[in-house]
Amino acid sequence: GAPGAIPLVAGGQDDAGVWLTVSNEGWVIDLTSADRLFEPFTQGDSGATRGQEGIGVGLYVVRRLVEVHGGSVDVRSDSGWFTIEVRLQPAAPTLAASLAG
């Protein structure tokens, strides 16, 4: 996001499982090719004057880890905010019980 911007983080649980969103004020990203953001070594702005640092593997790693656990990742970008939402299905009752006790 923009330098000095403070990300907003929210999470919760519903009938579909658990969710987590991270929103950051800053650059608006063209989502017509949103899947490209999840490819390794890709960034929203790849121009020579881009404002982001990094090598472009963060969203790739997030999506792979979440998918391995049966979840999904979605991105939104509008009105100067970029939001990532992660959703995971609830654990099977037997697994949840064994972890709890």
What is the tens place of the pLDDT at every residue in 60-82? 899 999 999 899 999 998 888 88
Residue 21 identity (one-letter amino acid): T
Is residue 2 included in any domain, yes or no?
no
CATH number, residue 33: 3.30.565.10
Domain with 38 in it: 8-100
Number of domains in the chain: 1
6 or 42, which is more confident: 6
23-34 pLDDT, tens digit each: 988 777 777 777
What are the angstrom distances between the C-alpha of 51 and each of 3, 54, 90? Answer: 9, 10, 38
Q: Does residue 100 have a pLDDT over 80?
A: no
> Is the model's pTM score more than 0.85?
no
Is residue 53 included in any domain, yes or no?
yes
The pLDDT value recorded for residue 88 is 93
